[in-house]
Structure 1
Amino acid sequence: MSWSLGYRPIEAQAALDGYFLSLGKALYIATAFEAKVQYVLRIAKLIDFAEQTPDHESVMSFGKALRDKNLGATLRELGLRDHICAEDASNLDRARNARNYIAHEAAHIGTVYDVNDKLFSETRETLRTQLEALIKGDNLISSWVYEIEEREPAPEGIQQDYHDLVTRWVFG
């Protein structure tokens, strides 16, 4: 069928609704991750520029002129900074791949009329695996955002609980 939906009843409607609800929540985490990565890089660039330029007005103009790149380019540039270890860069790259999967591929399940238990089992498991990588990267970048904004170390409690909080929220 050329159309995504038609007149035929969808037999797996409840399962589809549950999956797409989880996918929507995962997409929220994915887009928030991307925004936080861009924010951290903007702050890092602004700090670098401020340290090199004594003119306050120039620093403010530079801050306004910063433009966000796509997530891959942003992470590559962020990864070139001295304070990012190889493990953190790797976790952020895996989170980027997970974000891309969630944003661009996870909703492509074929025709909704052909959904069966095996397909759903595989699809949910792939989403869960991708979400694991996203959570790890989002937890890391969230702690950096907290430290930038609050000027104190990120609380250990939420860092330890974040995986379970997100997993429960996405999958219920």
Structure 2
Amino acid sequence: MTDMPWSVDTDEPKDAALWTAALLAVGRALYLANTFEAKCKAAFRVRLILDAIASHGDQWAEPAAAAADADATLARAITTFNRGDGEQLLRVLHRARDARNYIAHEGGNFNGLFFTSEDHLLDKLLRLRAEVHCLALGDDLVSQLIHEIHRKTDSGRGLDPGQRRTMPDYAGTVDRWVFGDADLLERLHERQERHWWAGTEPCTD
């Protein structure tokens, strides 16, 4: 039977362990997508406030914050990086935005747990893995910016900003966290070896 319009059934899917690992990966990818968007909007808010203060004085901080909250779409937030931040950075962030959109809207769309084939599921996960990689590259850049904002804020308040942190191989760390199930990784590797076209075009890194 392939006609199963309900999203959840009382029976377990054929390969419950694989589906559990897949849905865990989707949930973690969605968490990363949501936090990436939140960090971009936070950076956008800070930049608008700082620009307003620099141009008009401290009294403009609150109106600038309100304006940022009203206009804080992800696309709008990323455009604020287009002021001396570098073309390469912008390409990575725009690709990360596309990855975020894919993950949010298509990341868990497997056409049903109870009749989708294993190959179809693995192909969808290979695409998700490629998009998570692109998202991680952008998230790393925005996280570095947020980290520097926090350090400068602490320093301006007379607080110890602490040691500057970095996350070497952040994209690899993210990949292992999202797709770290050993059996899932083995199946993804085998599927990709048999079907090299699976996934999507690489992102800029």
* Cα drift, residue 36 of structure 1: 0.6
| Cα distance in 2 between the residues matched to 1:31 and 1:5 | 25
- Show the counterpart of 1:155: 165
Q: Which residue identity does 1:11 align to in structure 2?
A: K
- Show the counterpart of 1:165: 173
| Cα distance in 1 between the residues matched to 2:164 and 2:171 | 15
Q: How does 1:36-47 map to 2 (within 5 A)?
A: 36-47=39-50
Which sections of structure 1, spanning at least 5 residues, go unmatched? none
Is residue 144–residue 154 contact of structure 1 (8 Å, CA) maintained in 2?
no
- Show the counterpart of 1:4: 7
Is residue 96–residue 134 contact of structure 2 (8 Å, CA) maintained in 1?
yes
RMSD: 1.9
State yes or no: 1:35 paired with 2:42: no
Q: Does the C-alpha gap of structure 1 residues 97 and 38 become closer, same or farther in structure 2, counting only changes over 3 Å? A: same
| Cα distance in 1 between the residues matched to 2:173 and 2:21 | 18
Is residue 143–residue 154 contact of structure 1 (8 Å, CA) maintained in 2?
no
Q: Which residue identity does 1:60 align to in structure 2?
A: E
Larger proportion of helix: 1
1:21 to 9, 21, 24: 24
- Determine which structure has greater relative contact order: mean sequence separation of CA pairs < 8 Å that are 6+ residues apart, divided by chain length: 1
* Cα drift, residue 108 of structure 1: 0.8
Identity rate, percent = 29
Is residue 25–residue 170 contact of structure 1 (8 Å, CA) maintained in 2?
yes
Is residue 27–residue 103 contact of structure 1 (8 Å, CA) maintained in 2?
yes
Is residue 48–residue 64 contact of structure 2 (8 Å, CA) maintained in 1?
no
- Show the counterpart of 2:62: 60
- Show the counterpart of 2:106: 105
Q: Which residue identity does 2:85 align to in structure 1?
A: I
1:40-60 Cα shifts (integer Å, max 9, x gaps)? 111111111001112x33323
| Cα distance in 2 between the residues matched to 1:164 and 1:154 | 21
Mean Cα deviation higher: 83-92 or 129-138: 83-92
| Cα distance in 2 between the residues matched to 1:154 and 1:91 | 23
Q: Does the C-alpha gap of structure 1 residues 100 and 42 become closer, same or farther in structure 2, counting only changes over 3 Å? A: same
2:52 to 38, 43, 49: 49
- Show the counterpart of 2:96: 95
* Cα drift, residue 145 of structure 1: 0.4
- Show the counterpart of 1:78: 80
